Structure 1
Amino acid sequence: MSEERIVYMFDEVDPSKFKTTSELKEFFGGKGAGLANMTSLGLPIPYGFVIPCKHSLHYAEHHEMPSALKDQVKESIAKLEKKSGYVFGDINKPLLLSVRSGAPVSMPGMMDTVLNLGMSKAIAEKMAESNERFAWDSWRRFIMSYSDIVKETGREPYDEIMEDYKEKKGKKLDIELSAAEMKELGDLYLIEYKKLLSTEFPEDPWVQLFGAINAVFVSWDSERAVAYRKMNKIPNYGTAVNVMRMVFGNLNDDSGTGVLFTRSPMDGEKKIMGEFLINAQGEDVVAGVRTPMSMDDLQKERPEIVEEIFGLANKLEDHYKDMQDCEFTVENKKLFFLQTRVGKRTASAAVKIAIDMMDEQYIDEKTAVLRVAPEKIEELLHKRISPTERKSPIVKGFNASPGAVFGKAVFDCGRAIEMKKAGEKVILVRKETKPEDFPGMIASIGILTSRGGKTCHAAVVARGIGLPAIVGAGDLEIDEEAGIAKVSGEVVFKEGSIISIDGLAGNVYVGEVDVVDPEITAEFQRYLELCDKYRKLGVRTNADTPQMASDAIKNGAEGIGLCRTERMFNAEERLPKVVDMIVAESLEEREKALNVLLPLQKGDFKGIFKTMNGKPVTVRLLDPPLHEFLPDYKTMLIEFTELRVKGDHGDRFKELEFMIRKYEELKEENAMLGHRGVRLGNTNPEIYKMQARALIEALIESQNDGIDVHLEIMLPLVSHVNEFTRLVSILKPLASEIMASANFTPKNTIKWGTMIEIPRAALTSNEIAKHAEFFSFGTNDLTQMTYGFSRDDVESKFLMKYIDEIEPPIMKDNPFEHLDPNGVGKLVAISVKDGRSTRPNLKVGVCGETGGDPDSILLYHKYGLNYVSCSPFRVPVARVAAAHAAILDEQGKL
């Protein structure tokens, strides 16, 4: 049996043998797939080889490399030596390597890279004979990256040496250091290496190479990589290892390194944009150590090389039919492409690029829809600084990722994580961010750095996770240890100070600023209309007021899926009237109080009907337990006790005594499982009768005013079919009687249905469907009762520990935010199937947090629901997710 092939040279990979680019990437990783494609397209790339992703999973399981790997790596190095004319470990013609990881899904800053591998001090000395500064700069870089990545020391000790050394020499930038100074730094780095690791720096190139390969394997399961995968729900693919010949952007002033996007990642403009650093290596651009020049500036200075760069970049976009993010190096005027991948972009850029590429006939309409991730749509719904804001910014940086936020300034990632757990909103302020800062970044609501450009680590990560961010605010002097930030030597804010950042304009403010809600632009509207063309799920909204309904319509809602009538009771001027109804001692007193509430409820319904003219409105009758509307029990008890101690037994004492007694009569040990919903309606039908009367009278008056009303009345918390049938037998004749007395015929049939939010209701849905004309799943309560979780308690007590802290995690997602297919999802599927077996035309929707969740919507489409209902501002997200679901289902990918 032949030995399994573990190592592939770039030109030994045939991309055409893979059905899709995704399959190629899953096998060889994103970088490896890109290098294979660029090789097949004839682009100039440094020659090298790739170790596929699955071998890192072998390492994770067995804690050792595959047995044949070392021999195959050595064979591949021999091929690389033959192709390049350089020899690994040779002093005269040394073959130096870069070792890069590459997961199938782009994970910016998550994986690690080692540059200049294969150097020794003897090789550096020989290289110095022809190019002294380059040799010693490359040597000291290699010591630092090997120590940082392979030995996991971090690069901070070396950065401190560099900063102290520059200060001692009176120099600001690395580039200002002479060759002799670089050599001296290399010696200092060697001393630091031994101090940190109690061993000499390895001079054997094979030890270096296998150490680096091992480090790439290990990095797949590093804390920051696991955190990124978890947040983005990336499967456990493993990471590939890419080894290729080094090309040197720091060789001389005819060399340099850069990154580019074939279209703007900020706004989607069809123009190649990027950054270039003369006499530098790639890490300098990403780390933001020096401020790079733009591609426009480079074109003025070196038009020939830019013309070549643009030609090759356009060739890649033509091949992939998507915006590309490329890394390239110029070595002594010769261009090399090092990487290409689908570029991360803001939501607004994603929408524009999708529509533009469709118009340019690169892609079809369905592909254009799928090009914008539903969760990215939230980014377009971020607030921005009000145009009337008069506060002046203290500093301006690069607008790296849009959104306007304010929070407490925090200079330390660990502190950011602690403060998030304490419920604080923080903005992470750093000189620059590094990959290990990722957990602190996702704990923040915004990011501000003083170094870097639009392609630095902080910018790329922030854009990828939708965090507002400003980078390269160079006038801001940040002292992370002291926790202060200065401008022109003056402290402008400290740890804990409130600051605001505008990721759209790049402005930084001290204090809180006015923000305005986002708008749906004409271009975004076109994309949403394209989604509407393909989606099959309806999208409604949860709205309790005419204003909420109006906001939802602007966002494309097709009706109201949940109008919570109890929300109408909570207005300050109404609450005393509701309390009068609750504390009534007799049916006569209660009906009298309800008659006061009736015109108020009717007015609310009329306002909603007018706003939703022609669209369905599902109104849920009173759901929560009555004691929730009464004054706070502890506050009343304290005041009552104080009056009793004083001997004051006047009117207030008697009033409190009565209210406390009523509260204690109504109070339940577990109110969420108690006397509420249809249980209250069946024992006290006068409450639901008032609400039904208000609805029918509002319907009559609205239709007479020319409003097209589509009313659906929902009875909540049904667990037994008889609860539903008894109430309908009371309320439906009442509705008919009111309409008959007004000589009124509704234009549209009034529908009577229920909310399925108890497991028993889901399991007996065939019985309920004989009588109910629609179902709406209330996933919040259904989740509580399926899991036995009290939503009010578990999220703060243990649920997030289950998800984020315990290893391995007990649960993957919060079931109140994402539909659990093995719990509530199964109940939904059973209920839809059984309900429709009884009533084939049964209309089924869902109202709850999961109604606007993209992952959940995929399941709702699969289960055959008619609509989802979510908050007004998540309606666009649901529209996009529903389109994705329909297209993926059609393609057999759901």
Structure 2
Amino acid sequence: MLDHLNSERITQTAAIKRSLHGNRAKCLQRLIRLGMPVPETVALSIPLVRAIAAGQRPDLKAILDQFGSWPVLSVRASPVEPDWGGPSTMLNIGMNRANQAFFASRLGAEAAAELHLRFVRSYAVDVARLDEDMFEDPDLTVKQAYDAYEDEMDEEFPQDIEVQLLEVLKSMSRAWEGTTARLLRSSKGAPEDAGLGLVIQRMVLGLGKGESGAGVIQFINSESGEPQKVGRYMRQSQGRDALDYTSGDDGQGPLYLTKDNRGGSLEEEQPEVFAELERVGQLARKGLREEMQIEFTLEGGKLAIIDAIPAPRGARGDVAVAVALAQDEIISTEDAVMRIEPKAISELLHRQVAPRARRDVISRGIAASPGAATGKLVFDALAAQAAASQGEACILVRRETSPEDIRGMHAASGILTERGGTTSHAAVIARGLGLPCVAGASDLTIDNKGRKVTTQSGRVFAEGDIITLDGTAGEALAGDVPKIEAGIGGPFEQLMSWADAVRDIGVRANADTPEDAQVAKMFDAEGIGLCRTEHMFFAADRLTVLREAIFAENSTDRNAALKRLRPMQRDDFALIFEIMRDRPVCLRLFDPPLHEFLPNSRAGIRELAEAMDLSANAVRARIEQLAEFNPMLGMRGVRLGITIPEIYDMQVRAIFEAAILVNRSKGPTVVPEIMIPLVSAKREVELVKTRIDAVAAEVSAQSGKTVEYKLGVMVETPRAALRAGDIAVHASFLSFGTNDMTQMTYGLSRDDAGRFMSTYVNQGVFPEDPFRALDRDGVGELLTLASERGRQVREKITLSVCGEHGGDPDSIEFCREIGMNYVSCSPYRVPVARLAAAQLAIRAPEDVDEDINYEI
């Protein structure tokens, strides 16, 4: 006997704990405390269930004594977290020949035989593991079911309830310990040693005389979270039969719960029962502080509440319910903020593939940017622009994208790449634009010349074929798949206002264009933490002028070309300053290597040759001259600013002129933040600062206006992090570009790492993809050292992260721990960051009373 592991009758005062008996057991106790008509229930603790799985026998007599003379029971799984799953419910345990006769006199012969047959079928399939095909015949009798069981098992069907119950408990406990179940719950975040509790309950039969049946009801719309009575009820049924029933002409289909034009309803035919269900629903909402889906059974017109789970819903419903509960003062606003998973917020900001839509998956890759879009396949930027000009949605598919594809990416509805990961060029740009992106779809073979892609299974999709991109799931789907629209509205805005009231770290946006700035402001970013100014050059008219500057042989010619670019940049900067008037704007000076702005196709070279009145060979020779073996570690960032200073001179002049222009109108004074990229040494900052100061003095003299600005550094190299104290002498802020810093610290290409990263994570080399979640041990140590050394020199220096890690909740937690002032991320990730930051600021008590924990 397992005296120290005995079962526990669930009563108002029983010592039931979620951590010991599981979620369902604790929920049932709460329903009992609220005075609901819950049948007698016994909870088996997690240690007891483990002992049963190991082959030990529980005190079955003690368990059965809790139910008196009632001969039929059910067993349900009770994991600690409801979404961890568990073995299927077993009903009607105890049915045998004797009990069939007993229930025949009580319920009628037909109902009694149905009860008996249901149990034999489920026991044979779920406990004895026999082939379910043997028991599927709708005309099967109890005798035939017994015969089939006995033929396969070489023994009679067990008639003793103790034997039946023991075998059910052993089967369910061992199923939980199986490899498949372990992998499934592990994928849902369950720890390796997650345990299972079980609850044994007196059966309310749902069959027989009078109004008998079973159903479920909830009081919200699962998609929107708005109030709505939803559910189904089925006469002469048990458990969740009403939900499982799909079709049939037998006249036994489920009744709808509420009055409408669809036919019969429980509300019309049993108004008193329906009124009681409404009362129970409101009682559960207030008492459990949650919108619940309630499972109920009627037997002879008498209502029994069998179970309750949080009403199933998506992110939009979660937000609406949490806000409504807080507004009704059932939970606090802080509780409402804590209930929403930050990453789920992304689902509200973009269209999504409809949850029940048929999915014909043609490729799987990395979910690089969330959302869903449908369009025809195109294979280059020109085709994407042509489609957009005709009002046709398109999906741009590339092996990998480059800055040359920017115009096509702006024109496309979604982006699919064969290579890359979460911080690849395609991913970063797509998140900034709010486009769905699937990167690293290595199971596709792209034929640019033939304008087609071939899937791993051999299916071919040509240019013009329609596909749907699911950036949230990381899948490409054939055809036009139904979608649901973004869900930003009143509840979302209310939740975010509560979040902003408690968070203690700032959240800015990475925004490269006026359009990006508008989105950032819409999502209430506190400013722009990173404006990659080179992205403004990709419009056709600007790109040609920039190429002229790149091709210039001397400073005079280069300045002539850049002088034509300056008004364009000035106008963009002025518009961004105007949009973000009361919020800071940090502008990163030109960063990428020059070769990224030069064509690499034959057509592109010919086009540039015509524009510059040069031969194609001369253009090709110049491109080859500028080529580098490892451009990401070559002539880029501050190195360009020092060796070709005219580019930075033009940019800072445009910045100062734009600020003066905007400051002429009433409103907060614009003080630009100018950031130098890819710094490694103090002297680099000194050289660039000297030229910026000279341009500032010149602009001030010409305009008669004082030019104010803040100078900072983008810390991307390990050396810059280690020498942050030296660099801080000339910098009022340090902004950590964690994308490049991760790349340089690990010696990994962020565009290529996707090919093997999943293998590394699965085999425990890295706990997580370091481009997805900030590496605290390596990159994090560099950030910590840099922050400490920067503050030693300049106590009030502003510190931030402006890489894509700025939108990751775990990374934000680290930034907050080391005292950073703000994080900056793509505009569409700003709400995620705001909510995550708020949750970090809300202190959860160490020991939460389970009776007031909103998690059921």
TM-score, with structure 1 as normaliser: 0.73
Distance, in Å, in 1 between the alignment partners of 2:292 and 2:482 is 36
Q: Which residue of 2 aligns with 1:722?
A: 683
Q: Which residue of 2 aligns with 1:420?
A: 364
1:752 CA drift (Å): 0.9
Residue by residue over 1:262-299, the C-alpha shift from the partner in whole angstroms, topping out at 9 and shown as x without a partner, is: 54444344565432222112242343435633332212
Match of 1:76 among 62, 65, 74: 62
Q: CA 1:674/1:517 → structure 2, altered by over 3 Å: closer, same or farther? A: farther
1:339 CA drift (Å): 1.8
Distance, in Å, in 1 between the alignment partners of 2:723 and 2:221 is 54
1:205 CA drift (Å): 4.9
Q: How does 1:159-308 map to 2 (within 5 A)?
A: 162=136, 165=137, 181-183=139-141, 187=144, 191=148, 205-206=161-162, 208-220=164-176, 229-230=185-186, 232-236=188-192, 237-251=194-208, 254-270=211-227, 272-289=229-246, 292-296=254-258, 297-308=265-276
Q: What secondary structure sits across from 1:85 in the alignment?
A: coil
Distance, in Å, in 1 between the alignment partners of 2:610 and 2:562 is 29
Distance, in Å, in 1 between the alignment partners of 2:602 and 2:18 is 61
Q: How does 1:177-576 map to 2 (within 5 A)?
A: 181-183=139-141, 187=144, 191=148, 205-206=161-162, 208-220=164-176, 229-230=185-186, 232-236=188-192, 237-251=194-208, 254-270=211-227, 272-289=229-246, 292-296=254-258, 297-383=265-351, 403=352, 409-410=358-359, 416=361, 419-421=363-365, 512=480, 518=486, 520-576=488-544
Q: What secondary structure sits across from 2:22 in the alignment?
A: helix
Q: CA 1:55/1:677 → structure 2, altered by over 3 Å: closer, same or farther? A: farther
Mapped contact 1:406–1:513 kept (Cα < 8 A): no
User: Does 1:792 pair with 2:751?
Assistant: yes
1:426 CA drift (Å): 10
Distance, in Å, in 1 between the alignment partners of 2:126 and 2:230 is 30
Q: What secondary structure sits across from 2:38 in the alignment?
A: coil
User: Does 1:65 pair with 2:53?
Assistant: yes
Q: CA 1:682/1:198 → structure 2, altered by over 3 Å: closer, same or farther? A: farther
Match of 1:709 among 647, 670, 687: 670
Q: Which residue of 2 aligns with 1:169?
A: none
Q: Which residue of 1 aligns with 2:75?
A: 99
Larger displacement relative to structure 2 (596-605 or 35-44): 35-44
Q: CA 1:660/1:370 → structure 2, altered by over 3 Å: closer, same or farther? A: same
Match of 2:550 among 582, 589, 592: 582
- Matched letter for residue 36 of structure 2: L
Q: Which residue of 1 aligns with 2:740?
A: 781
CA-based RMSD:
4.1
Q: CA 1:49/1:605 → structure 2, altered by over 3 Å: closer, same or farther? A: same
Mapped contact 1:407–1:500 kept (Cα < 8 A): no
Larger displacement relative to structure 2 (302-311 or 146-155): 146-155
Q: Which residue of 2 aligns with 1:435?
A: none
Larger displacement relative to structure 2 (664-673 or 275-284): 664-673
Distance, in Å, in 2 between the alignment partners of 1:230 and 1:757 is 35
Q: CA 1:788/1:211 → structure 2, altered by over 3 Å: closer, same or farther? A: farther
Q: CA 1:828/1:220 → structure 2, altered by over 3 Å: closer, same or farther? A: farther
Distance, in Å, in 2 between the alignment partners of 1:357 and 1:407 is 27
Mapped contact 1:565–1:619 kept (Cα < 8 A): yes
Q: CA 1:154/1:38 → structure 2, altered by over 3 Å: closer, same or farther? A: farther
Q: CA 1:267/1:134 → structure 2, altered by over 3 Å: closer, same or farther? A: same
Q: What secondary structure sits across from 2:83 in the alignment?
A: coil
Mapped contact 1:407–1:499 kept (Cα < 8 A): no
1:124 CA drift (Å): 4.8
Distance, in Å, in 2 between the alignment partners of 1:497 and 1:150 is 49
Mapped contact 2:12–2:32 kept (Cα < 8 A): no
1:538 CA drift (Å): 1.9
Q: How does 1:666-681 map to 2 (within 5 A)?
A: 666-681=626-641
- Matched letter for residue 351 of structure 1: V
Match of 2:700 among 739, 747, 768: 739
Distance, in Å, in 2 between the alignment partners of 1:4 and 1:721 is 72
Mapped contact 2:567–2:654 kept (Cα < 8 A): yes
Mapped contact 1:540–1:559 kept (Cα < 8 A): yes
Distance, in Å, in 1 between the alignment partners of 2:602 and 2:702 is 47
Residue by residue over 1:343-382, the C-alpha shift from the partner in whole angstroms, topping out at 9 and shown as x without a partner, is: 3433343333333333322222222322333233223223
1:227 CA drift (Å): 6.2
Q: What secondary structure sits across from 1:257 in the alignment?
A: strand
TM-score, with structure 2 as normaliser: 0.76
- Matched letter for residue 532 of structure 2: R
- Matched letter for residue 840 of structure 1: E
Q: Which residue of 1 aligns with 2:656?
A: 696
Mapped contact 2:30–2:288 kept (Cα < 8 A): no
Mapped contact 1:47–1:244 kept (Cα < 8 A): yes
Q: Which residue of 2 aligns with 1:874?
A: 829
Mapped contact 1:113–1:149 kept (Cα < 8 A): no
- Matched letter for residue 420 of structure 1: R
Q: What secondary structure sits across from 2:751 in the alignment?
A: helix
Q: Which residue of 2 aligns with 1:46?
A: 39
Instruction: Name stretches of at least 5 consecutive residues in structure 2 with no aligned partner.
Output: 248-252, 259-264, 374-463, 471-477, 849-856
Mapped contact 1:382–1:404 kept (Cα < 8 A): no
Q: What secondary structure sits across from 2:5 in the alignment?
A: coil
Larger displacement relative to structure 2 (197-206 or 95-104): 197-206
Q: Which residue of 1 aligns with 2:416?
A: none
Q: CA 1:500/1:777 → structure 2, altered by over 3 Å: closer, same or farther? A: closer
Instruction: Name stretches of at least 5 consecutive residues in structure 1 with no aligned partner.
Output: 19-23, 87-94, 166-176, 384-402, 428-495, 503-509, 641-648
Distance, in Å, in 1 between the alignment partners of 2:572 and 2:585 is 13
Q: What secondary structure sits across from 1:574 in the alignment?
A: helix
1:784 CA drift (Å): 2.0
Match of 2:576 among 608, 612, 635: 608
1:711 CA drift (Å): 0.9
Distance, in Å, in 1 between the alignment partners of 2:530 and 2:372 is 34
Distance, in Å, in 1 between the alignment partners of 2:65 and 2:770 is 53
1:331 CA drift (Å): 2.5
Distance, in Å, in 2 between the alignment partners of 1:3 and 1:774 is 64
Distance, in Å, in 2 between the alignment partners of 1:516 and 1:315 is 32
1:31 CA drift (Å): 0.5
Distance, in Å, in 2 between the alignment partners of 1:270 and 1:516 is 19
Q: CA 1:569/1:332 → structure 2, altered by over 3 Å: closer, same or farther? A: same
Match of 1:628 among 578, 596, 613: 596
Q: CA 1:426/1:627 → structure 2, altered by over 3 Å: closer, same or farther? A: closer
Aligned length: 736
User: Does 1:30 pair with 2:23?
Assistant: yes
Distance, in Å, in 2 between the alignment partners of 1:303 and 1:570 is 67
Distance, in Å, in 2 between the alignment partners of 1:190 and 1:680 is 85
User: Does 1:819 pair with 2:774?
Assistant: yes
Q: Which residue of 1 aligns with 2:796?
A: 841
Residue by residue over 1:216-239, the C-alpha shift from the partner in whole angstroms, topping out at 9 and shown as x without a partner, is: 334446677556645553444322
Q: Which residue of 2 aligns with 1:116?
A: 92
Mapped contact 1:408–1:498 kept (Cα < 8 A): no
Q: Which residue of 2 aligns with 1:483?
A: none
Q: What secondary structure sits across from 2:842 in the alignment?
A: helix
Distance, in Å, in 2 between the alignment partners of 1:651 and 1:620 is 29
Q: CA 1:231/1:683 → structure 2, altered by over 3 Å: closer, same or farther? A: farther
- Matched letter for residue 335 of structure 1: L
- Matched letter for residue 542 of structure 1: N
